[in-house]
Amino acid sequence: MNCPSRPKSLLALPVLFATCLSNAPPVLADEPGQIPETVVVTATRTEQPLALTGTSMSIITAADLTAEQTLVLSDALAETPGLTMNRTGGIGQPTSISIRGAETGQTLVLIDGVRINDPSATDDGAVLGDLLVNNISRVEILRGPQSTLYGSDAIGGVVNILTQRGGDTPFGLVASAEGGSLSTFRINAAVNGTVDAVDYGGAVNYFDTAGIAAADSRGLYTQPDGYRNFGATENLRWHVSDTISLDLRTYYTQARDAFDGYPPPNYTLAYTGEFGDDRLFAGYAGINWSLFDGHFQNRFAVTETASDRKDFNPSLSVPEEFYAEGNAQQFEYQGIVDFTAQDQMTFGADLQHTTLNTGSPSPYLPNPPPIKGHTQIDGYYAQYQRTLFDQLTLTGGLRYTDDEEFGSHTSFKLAGAWALFDGTTVLRADYGDGFKAPSLYEIYSPYSNPLGPLAPESARGWEVGADQHFLDDRVQASLTYFERKTTDQIDFFDCYGVVSQACTLRENEGGYYYNVGRAEAKGVELDVSAKLDETLVLGVNYTNQTAIDLATGYDLAREPHLMANARLVWTPTKVLSLGASVGFTGHRFDDAYDSVPLSSFALVNLFGSYDVTEQIELYARVQNLFEPHYELAAGYNAMPRTFAGGIRLKL
């Protein structure tokens, strides 16, 4: 399989001349006078050339992750346009992402089509701190409301992670081991191949680090918060016949993380010896059935996501101080009808039942009654795509959602892409809307709104953009203007120093969830990649965004106005690769009232690899080379300068 020839983001700028280590996005065959297209699956839930989707999307390939030696996927996501990553401490600490001002819980995260958003999380968001790079083939990041095809969790965007499966041989192996600063150690082994009618892929991953102190002590890492993680993935397809295949996919993580708390008498963030044990399982079983010579494709599937999180404080007489168990079961049907080569309809239904069981034991109440909740959300959708005059592709979609708690809602999506000058110029536009019901934790936990039920969040967004190719496709540029508005966005209200009826009712809890009102994010994203010569590849992206609470006029918390990333990779020989990256995050505020500023910062990373033989590779990296003091969240340390080196075996 060829490597992608039209990268659409900074992280889709792997060493284009390096050997492709994975199943990268497929590339359509060249036709005279046309530029080959990268094929994606997330924008329309079908394989489509990216240029026809009308949407802005970033692609991270396995070669990208390997070149930059990425450990935690959120670090790679942070290098894509329009996306902000926040982490309260070192690796393994709570991590969130924001796409164009949307909260983590407003972004759907999938692994091989299985949702890994935690049903027990406060905002139903994915536990991104535990999501390490493990057998990933590619990642597709779709920006803007995507509820039409993906439901209520996708009003901010979709992150779709695809793992490797199949291959040209019965058995392929990539194994690595590395160590580095902060007593960090990692081993990983991934296999994939094709045996008769079975395509398979799978991997195991173990990571351990002493970590850093989450509480900001300005470099005094005397009480670090350690972290360890075990993860496994499995992706199997059995071709029962020429028209029927069966899929079985699994994702599992088990993590233990130490974290800081607020001990008496000062009740300020400090080391307390507390730790958490988090487990997440996601499974998928499906059958694919193709009819009428492949013109009518059907997919039936059942998925399940189960989480089990516990927090412990050894200093208490009742060590277990919190538990949360969540479960989401979903039944899916999807049909795809190819009427002609230019006309395609996608339609389907997804029925999801979600449950929550949580509680907070204490020395005063060691066995509190558990807090339970459940909800049923059923969705039905249809989308039609047509290409006119071999240049203009129009897409329209509609979803009807029935929520047992919040009633019905209809959302829709429109997109268009106009390819000019044999595809060297593409003009595009996209509109989408949707709604997200409050999470079960926001509804049923002790922090629920004491004055009345929360309202669902709703969002609508649109964008216009252009993609341009220069100098025989050696330079590609993408420019996008976007706007996104959210109504009734849910946030946590801190009652510290506030006197009100609601705060009186939530005196013991210290706050409650409430609807902010209206929020808006708008801005410009620029993405440029250039193959400077046969050995040098440069990529740059830039985001200028304004994200505000329209009720107060203040900036949304932790949303910078400016973000920029750049990466340069030099491959002077076939066996040596060297590179550097820099990421800039601009000034922002940590709170909703613009009273706690966070300074801008820039991080510089170096990375390189050397092939000792065709099977053995040595690699090393330095992260945060100049070690500026910076905060992703006020009061929390961020990663200092670290070194790592390892060996990779490829069979």
pLDDT digits (tens, 9 = 90+) for 120-146: 999 999 999 999 999 999 999 999 999
Q: Which residues of 78-99 are buried (b: 16+ CB within 10 A; e: fewer)?
A: bbbbbbbbbbbbbbbbbbbbbb
Residue 413, pLDDT score: 95
Q: What is the mean pLDDT of residues 220-236?
A: 88
Cis omega (within 30 of 0) on the bond before 628? no
Residue 299 pairs in a beta bridge with 288, 334
CA dihedral 118, 124, 130, 133 (to 10 degrees): 90
Q: At residue 10, does pLDDT exceed 60?
A: no
Buried b (16+ CB within 10 A) or exposed e, 479-508: bbebbbbbbbbbbebebeeeeeebbeebee
Cα angle value 482/486/492 (rounded, 5°):
130
**Nearest CA among 398, 310, 389 for reference residue 346:** 398
DSSP reduced 3-state for 501: helix
Structure token digits, residue 261: 């708390």
The pLDDT of residue 217 is 62
Q: What angle do CA 541, 542, 548 make, to 5 degrees?
A: 140
Largest CA distance in the chain: 76
Q: What is the pLDDT of residues 236-273, one digit of tens each?
A: 999 999 999 999 999 999 999 999 888 877 778 888 88
Average pLDDT over residues 17-26: 36
Q: Record the pTM.
A: 0.91
Question: What SS3 string covers 121-181?
Answer: CCCCCECHHHCECCCEEEEEEEECCCHHHHCHHHCCEEEEEEECCCCCCCCEEEEEEEEEC
Which pLDDT score is estimated for 39?
80
Identify whether the C-beta of residue 453 lies closer than 8 Å to the C-beta of residue 501.
Answer: no
Residue appearing with tokens 């550097």: 580
What is the distance between the alpha carbons of residues 130 and 604, in angstroms, rounded to a whole number?
24
- Taking only the tens place, the pLDDT of each residue in 451-469 is 999 999 999 999 999 999 9
Could you give the CA distance from residue 248 to residue 283 in angstroms, rounded to a whole number?
8
Would you say 527 and 478 are in contact if contact means Cβ atoms under 8 Å apart? yes
Question: What's the sign of the alpha-carbon dihedral 7, 10, 14, 16?
Answer: positive
Average pLDDT value for residue range 509-532: 92
pLDDT tens, position by position, 602-644: 999 999 999 999 999 999 999 999 988 899 999 898 999 999 9
Percentage of the chain beyond pLDDT 70 is: 93
- When pLDDT is cut at 50, 70 and 90, the band that residue 113 belongs to is confident
Q: Tell me the one-letter amino acid at 283.
A: G
| Helix ranges (DSSP H) in 351-507 | 440-444, 501-505
Token pair 């509804």 in the structure block, residue: 443
Within 10 A of 472 (CB to CB), how many other CB atoms are there?
A: 9
Q: What is the mean pLDDT of the chain?
A: 90
Q: Which two tokens stand for residue 102?
A: 């949307």
Q: Is the pLDDT of residue 322 over 90?
A: yes
- What value does the mean pLDDT take over residues 377-382? 96
pLDDT at position 517 over 50: yes
Helix boundaries (H) for 285-430: none
Sketch out the chain's domains with CATH numbers: 10-650 (2.40.170.20)
Question: Do the Cβ atoms of 95 and 87 come closer than 8 Å?
Answer: yes
What is the model's pLDDT at position 38?
A: 73
How far apart CA 582 and CA 605 sit, in angstroms, is 6
Name the DSSP class of 26: P
Q: State residue 303's pLDDT score.
A: 96
Band of pLDDT at residue 20, cut at 50, 70 and 90? very low
pLDDT digits (tens, 9 = 90+) for 155-172: 999 999 999 999 999 999
Task: Report the percentage of the chain scoring pLDDT > 90.
Answer: 77
- Which of the four pLDDT bands, split at 50, 70 and 90, describes residue 1? very low
Q: Output the pLDDT for position 27.
A: 40
Q: What b-and-e string marks burial along 200-216, b requiring 16 or more CB atoms within 10 Å of the CB?
A: bbbbbbbbbbbbbbbbb
pLDDT of 16 higher than 70: no
- Reported as a single tens digit per residue, the pLDDT across 171-197 is 999 999 999 999 999 999 999 999 999
Query: Are β-strands 392-403 and 407-420 bridged in parallel, bridged antiparallel, or unpaired?
Result: antiparallel
Residue 134 has φ and ψ, to the nearest 5°, of -155, 100
Q: What is the pLDDT of residue 24?
A: 37
Q: Is the pLDDT of residue 5 over 50?
A: no
Give CA–CA dist 109/124, Å, rounded: 11
pLDDT at residue number 548: 93
CA–CA separation, 460 and 484 (whole Å)? 6
List beta partners, residue 459: 434, 486
pLDDT over 60 (residue 22)? no
